[in-house]
Amino acid sequence: MWITLLDRLLKHMMRQGVLEVTYPDGITRRYGDGSDSYHAAITLHDDTLPRKIIYSPDMAVGEAYMDGRLTIEGDDLYGFLELSISNIAAHGQPWFRQPLDFGRHLLRYLQQFNPVSRARANVAHHYDLSGALYDLFLDRDRQYSCAYFRDPNMTLEAAQDAKKHHIATKLLIKPGMRVLDIGCGWGGMGLTLARDYGADVLGVTLSREQHAMATARAAEAGLADRCRFELLDYRKVTGEFDRIVSVGMFEHVGVPHYNEYFANVRDRLTEDGVALIHTIGRARPPGATSPWITKYIFPGGYCPSLSEMMKAVENQGLIETDIEVWRLHYALTLRHWHDRFMENIEKARALYDDRFCRMWRYYLIASELTFLLNRQVVFQMQLARQQEAVPLTRDYLYSRDDNLRHAAE
């Protein structure tokens, strides 16, 4: 029965390209239109896989690849995921899977309920991995978010620098301004604002590893008096700030907490303050996070649609002064990360094991192709309490001096 259902599922989904599946009984079946657009061949080595794939394709396929219970001809993970994601984006799920997907959507409020204690555990799951792991694929400044490719041929380091300066320009930073960095990572954004723009920065994170490194970096740079980092939930911050920046943290807030998050942004901003929220999002209606991503990569995480964010922003009386959508920048970023990770794969195996390496590679490639093929984007939302807090036009973002400075870099 389960092989029959999986056969129907694949016939519905795989309409472009070719997917060859060798089932546990040794029979090989072919799906797709026979075109040369995409091609992949996989083998299922576990009798339980057809049932598990019907119930939860994301979870079953991801786990089976990690465990070696699903193998890909030539280990062409890019080819297999490109074929799968492009067809899913085009054709969706068959009718008999729709109730399961609807149930996932209903459960997302429970899965994304992130009070302080749970948020801390979720952060530790991913960001408190060995620091040596992140050195294998990130840039020198450890920017673990989307870079800004003014030119597709930029180096990762240059594109990450461009991202930080683009954000600083949107924040209209002036020397002496108090800045709150929500989810400060390893400190790169805060250190840039303190060193290059003269800001007085407070960065907060729930990751012990990130907090320790960010604090050490500030001391080493001689900026400890102007760039402080605290192991603190954003909901526990007090006081007012001229500017608030949050890069790659909103994905961890959770839908049930959106109103709480933007209420905190509003309450922490001075009357003429400006905030910049940078987050992965979806250029489509609200949905649910892949269960594989939830279990293995980002527990409690979710990439919102713009409509979900805007409802909470409007509820808290903030004004949207600018919204920019980055489309393929993160795909380029993730390709750099994947290539660097693969160059250092033996070092990664020494840190963890082969299963972890397959998991990490699956995560990086699936994420890249989701940006390329399935309408995932990055939102940069500039917010204020007053309409007059920022200039009336966007000319200040692309001034002659700014362009010349980036050209020189």
Q: Which residue has the tokens 């079953």?
A: 60
Does the pLDDT of residue 406 top 60, yes or no? no
What is the rounded average pLDDT of the residues 38-52?
95
Does the pLDDT of residue 146 top 60, yes or no? yes
Does the pLDDT of residue 124 top 90, yes or no? no
Domain spans of the chain? 2-93, 116-408
Per-residue confidence (pLDDT) for residue 403, from 0 to 100: 45
Averaged pLDDT score across all residues of the chain: 91
Does the pLDDT of residue 321 top 90, yes or no? yes
Q: Which token pair is 365?
A: 């490639």
Is 373 in contact with 85 (CB distance < 8 Å)? yes
Is 261 in contact with 183 (CB distance < 8 Å)? no
By CB atoms closer than 10 A (0-12, 13-18, 19+), residue 409 is: exposed
- How far is the CA of 400 from the CAs of 366, 397, 405, in angstroms? 38, 10, 9
Query: In whole angstroms, what is the distance from residue 127 CA to residue 210 CA?
Result: 7
* Residues 6 or more apart in contact with residue 376 via CB below 8 angstroms: 280, 281, 282, 283, 303, 330, 370
pLDDT in tens, 341-389: 999 999 999 999 999 999 999 999 999 999 999 999 999 999 999 999 9
SS3 229: strand
Range 142-146, long-range pairs (CB < 8 A, 24+ positions): 142/185, 142/186, 142/188, 142/213, 143/185, 143/188, 143/189, 144/185, 144/186, 144/248, 145/185, 145/247, 145/248, 145/278, 146/248, 146/278, 146/280, 146/326, 146/329, 146/330, 146/333, 146/378
Percent of the chain with pLDDT over 70: 91
Looking at residue 304, its amino acid is P
In degrees and rounded to multiples of 5, residue 404 shows phi and psi of -65, -40
- CA angle at 398 for the pair 394 and 403, rounded to the nearest 5°: 175
> In which band, very low, low, confident or very high, does the pLDDT at 225 lie, cut at 50, 70 and 90?
very high
Give DSSP secondary structure letters for 197-225: H--EEEEEES-HHHHHHHHHHHHHTT-TT
By CB atoms closer than 10 A (0-12, 13-18, 19+), residue 208 is: middle
What is the rounded average pLDDT of the residues 157-171?
96
Per-residue confidence (pLDDT) for residue 88, from 0 to 100: 87
pLDDT in tens, 228-250: 999 999 999 999 999 999 999 99
Class of domain 116-408: alpha beta
What is the rounded average pLDDT of the residues 99-125?
67
Does an H or E element contain 272, and which?
strand 269-282
